[in-house]
Amino acid sequence: MRTDVELPGHDDTRLRGWWYPPAQATGNPAIVMAHGFSAVKEMALDRYAEVFSAAGFGVLVYDHRNFGASNGEPRQEIDPWGQVRDYRSAIRWTLERPEVDADRVGIWGSSFSGGEVIIVAACDGRVRAAVANVPLCGLPGVDYGDTRERFDGIRDRVLRRSMSTDDGDGVLGPVAVVDEPGSGLNAYLSQPESREWFLRLGRFPGSRWQNRVTLRNVFAGSPPFDPGICVAHVAPTPLLLVVATEDRLAETSIALAAFERAGEPKRLVTISGHHFAPYAGAEFQQAASAACDFFREFL
């Protein structure tokens, strides 16, 4: 049975989520999970966590700062650097659980947080395996031929604990996440599949999702927030990319190119359909089973 938990973010902002305890009292592998762009844990993350929990993993699922059950201001603001640093704090919280083997912790992220997982795995040596589900793997038109200096800048930015999440790279919004009559805001995600998924999953009873965001420090500044810079530096940490064949949000071609740049050990699983296909049906079963098998192999 899962329990409600709270944990400190990198600046002691209270993050809240669920802990799925493993069956054994000690020595268990564990997985840290968070959702993607504006989404909250009630939007299908319980289904993934239940698969991992049934396989014997301890699983921490939490809402990003400023979203869902977690604290943080301004509400509904995405700051990827703050979210990346919070992943590291969530890893620390998990490592301190008496049930968990400190050498067997992996991370999972989806969509926008799939990109964050790539950055965390490249920068944090405590991570033993990483799964990026339909991940943001880079940006169009960027030269990823020589990323060493840019990666060093990203790693420095991630590891500076004392730095505020407000790094001064500008704020976009407020905008609607997806188009919705009466919102009065322009939509950030214009794809029909985005609108269908967010308005369906986000309106489930108990979900705290809101169709409004501001974005801080996204794709701007020096260094930029760009997982494509980091993917070649994840190795030797094992990396699994789950890529949708018709992804228009985290573009399929960019994800496949990122996989080619990644070092071994690495795995690629392709899921038929659009960006949201891995959250339901046979595509969910394929993605969840592949991730579970990967964590079994490397944790």
Angstrom distances, CA of residue 59 to CA of 2, 93, 140: 9, 12, 34
Determine the Cα–Cα distance for residues 129 and 103; give it in Å rounded to an integer. 11
Supply the pLDDT for residue 222.
77
Closest by CA position to 214, among listed 179, 172, 168, 165 = 172
pTM, entire model? 0.96
pLDDT the model gives residue 162: 45
Question: Which domains can be identified in the chain, with CATH numbers?
Answer: 3-164+224-298 (3.40.50.1820)
Q: Give the model's pLDDT for residue 23.
A: 85
Cis amide prior to 80 (ω within 30 degrees): no
Which residue stretches of the chain have pLDDT < 50? 162, 165
Calpha distance 206→196 (Å, rounded): 18
Query: What pLDDT is stored for residue 169 in this prediction?
Result: 59
Q: Report the pLDDT value the prediction gives residue 167, as an integer from 0 to 100.
A: 54
Q: List the structure tokens of 55.
A: 């396989």
| pLDDT tens digits, one per residue of 186-195 | 999 999 999 9
Q: Residues of 108-126 as b/e, b for ≥16 C-beta within 10 angstroms?
A: bbbbbbbbbbbbbbbbbeb
